[in-house]
């Protein structure tokens, strides 16, 4: 089994099981990349155990622009807290934004007494939004019935109008309890 020849934090190194089938150079490259993107970084205490801090972060990115039946449009600011190693909008943050806006869009048609849950979310990453970019997210209901709702989303750069991401979310409806 190969051993890393680079200086890595002890807690990070102790969890890595490295196959002997991989070269020392490749092991070092992978470990350096993981350290560089912050895999072994410390999570500040205010975020470590705080309930729903991730949702607070996502909500801070959104500004509603238009809400109507079956349609929601929001402005999203790509703040430094949600950029990736390459200074682009982080894929996980894009997914969280897509989920939040699609829930809001579904709620324009689905009764409040019906619980909904995300069953499927697909995203196509066509280009990247860079740090401090503004993105217009347009969500619309494709289908909404008794048991499910399908929402389509388009993410476009505000400055150029270029389509950078598309998403599709499927929500399943739970029947209202009759007590």
Give how many domains the chain has, as a whole number. Answer: 2
Count of CB atoms situated within 10 Å of the CB of 142? 12
Average pLDDT, the chain: 83
**Burial label, 140 (beta-carbon count in 10 A; 0-12, 13-18, 19+):** middle
Local confidence band at 30 (pLDDT 50, 70, 90 cut-offs): confident
Does residue 32 share a domain with residue 59? no
Judgement on whether residues 26 and 56 belong to the same structural domain of the protein: no
Question: Do 108 and 157 reside in the same domain of the chain?
Answer: yes
CATH number at residue 141: 3.10.129.10
Please check whether residue 179 lies inside any domain of the structure: no
Domain presence at residue 65: yes
More confident residue, 117 or 7: 117
**Cβ pair 130, 162 in contact under 8 A:** no
* Rounded Cα gap, residues 130 and 137, in angstroms: 15
Note whether 63 and 25 are same-domain residues.
no
Same-domain pairing of 21 and 73: no
CA distance 135 to 63: 10
Looking at the structure, tell me whether residues 71 and 132 fall in a common domain: yes
Those residues with Cβ within 8 angstroms of residue 17's Cβ, 6 or more apart along the chain or in another chain? 1
In tens, the pLDDT along 121-144 reads 999 999 999 999 999 999 999 999
> Domain limits at 9?
1-42
Residues 149 and 87 in one domain: yes
Residues 32 and 78 in one domain: no
The answer to whether residue 57 sits within a structural domain is yes
| Residues 12, 35 contacting (CB under 8 angstroms) | yes
Q: Both 31 and 100 in a single domain?
A: no
User: Which pLDDT band holds residue 95 (cuts at 50, 70, 90)?
Assistant: very high
pLDDT mean over 155-174: 96
Q: Are residues 33 and 55 in the same domain?
A: no
- Are 15 and 64 contained in the same domain? no
Q: For residue 106, is it within any domain? A: yes
Three-state SS letters, 89-136: ECHHHHHHHHHHHHHHHHHCCCCCCCEEEEEEEEEEECCCCECCCEEE
């Amino acid at each position: 089994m190969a051993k890393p020849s680079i200086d890595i934090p002890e807690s990070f190194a102790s969890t890595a099981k490295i196959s002997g089938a991989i070269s020392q150079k490749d092991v070092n490259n992978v470990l350096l990349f993981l350290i560089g993107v912050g895999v072994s970084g410390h999570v500040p205490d205010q975020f470590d155990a705080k309930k729903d801090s991730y949702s607070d972060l996502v909500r801070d990115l959104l500004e509603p622009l238009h809400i109507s039946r079956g349609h929601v449009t929001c402005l999203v600011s790509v703040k430094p807290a949600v950029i990736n190693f390459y200074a682009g909008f982080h894929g996980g943050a894009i997914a969280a934004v897509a989920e939040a806006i699609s829930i809001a869009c579904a709620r324009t048609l689905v009764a409040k007494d019906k619980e909904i849950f995300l069953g499927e979310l697909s995203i196509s990453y066509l280009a990247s939004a860079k740090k401090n970019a503004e993105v217009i997210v347009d969500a619309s209901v494709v289908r909404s019935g008794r048991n499910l709702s399908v929402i389509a989303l388009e993410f476009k750069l505000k400055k150029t109008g270029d389509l950078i991401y598309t998403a599709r979310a499927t929500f399943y409806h739970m029947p209202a309890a009759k007590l």
